[in-house]
Amino acid sequence: METLEQIRDRLLARFPAAQVTLVTNPGVAAEHSLLFDAASARDLTLFLRDDSALALDYCSNATGIDWPDKEIIETTKTSVPDPAGGPPKIVEQKTTHVQPGYLEAVYHLYSMAKKHGPLVIRLRTANRSDQVTLPSLTPVWRSCDFQEREIFDLYGIIFAGHPDLRRLLMWDDFKDHPMRKDYVEPDDYEWEPTAHGAVLERAKAHLPKAEGLKS
């Protein structure tokens, strides 16, 4: 299979208005990926599927990632002259800013016809609150159906164009998304006869005082 750089360059040549960014993975696996902008994702993925050299006709896995807000500390060094005539002093100044968080959907693509892969692609939301919509890739690869539903259920990404977007693991009235890194478990999700330890202590606050719970 072509290198990621070659695939990126071919995509940009075919879709010059698209945004295709190489994302490197510094880990041991070194499983690098391509980040697509949401607006161009459908056209880009159709190209990956239908191009005769790539023929990426199978999505084996789709998963979500939560990237919360991150505090970034930057250090700058300035050379300050010494009033006494000595060597200049190096003064460090630290500035802090917050990098807004976002959600990602990550897809692993293979070619059953060409026997190559994976190609890993990413789609990224604008934030983690009110702009969490991405285009569904289920119309491109049917195998994304349940996996995008799972991502929606556990992370809260809304997949526009999905044929049946509803919760998969949690019940319909469940609030929030359990795989978010800031998710807080409810105090009373577990109760008699199985409550024990710290869960038991939290659950007591939700019962009538007269009822109580036995330790």
Mean pLDDT of the chain, nearest integer: 90
Q: Could you tell me which residue, 173 or 177, shows the higher pLDDT? A: 177
The pLDDT > 90 percentage for the chain reads 66
Are residues 130 and 63 part of one domain? yes
Average confidence (pLDDT) over 189-196:
57
Are residues 192 and 156 part of one domain? no
pLDDT for 110-154, tens place per residue? 999 999 999 999 999 999 999 999 999 999 999 999 999 999 999
What pLDDT is recorded for position 192?
46
Note down the domain range covering 215. Answer: 185-215
What pLDDT is recorded for position 83?
81
What pLDDT is recorded for position 214?
52
Is residue 54 situated within a structural domain? Answer: yes
At 87, is the pLDDT very low, low, confident or very high (cuts 50, 70, 90)?
confident
At 195, is the pLDDT very low, low, confident or very high (cuts 50, 70, 90)?
low
What pLDDT is recorded for position 191?
46
Structure tokens at 13: 């040549």
What pLDDT is recorded for position 124?
98
Are residues 63 and 121 part of one domain? yes
Q: Could you tell me which residue, 181 or 188, shows the higher pLDDT? A: 181
Q: How far is CA 117 from CA 86, 108, 111, 158, in A?
A: 61, 8, 6, 27
pLDDT for 7-54, tens place per residue? 999 999 999 999 999 999 988 888 999 999 999 999 999 999 999 999
Q: State the DSSP code for 100.
A: P
What pLDDT is recorded for position 167?
96
Q: Could you tell me which residue, 92 or 33, shows the higher pLDDT? A: 33
At 165, is the pLDDT very low, low, confident or very high (cuts 50, 70, 90)?
very high
Strands (E), 20-167: 20-23, 33-36, 58-67, 70-80, 89-99, 102-111, 116-124, 133-135, 158-160
Burial 86-122 (b: 16+ CB within 10 A, else e): eeeeeeeeeeeeeeebbbbbbbbbbbeeeebbbbbbb
Are residues 30 and 107 part of one domain? yes
Average confidence (pLDDT) over 180-188:
82
Is residue 202 situated within a structural domain? Answer: yes
Is residue 90 situated within a structural domain? Answer: no
CATH number for 147: 3.30.460.80
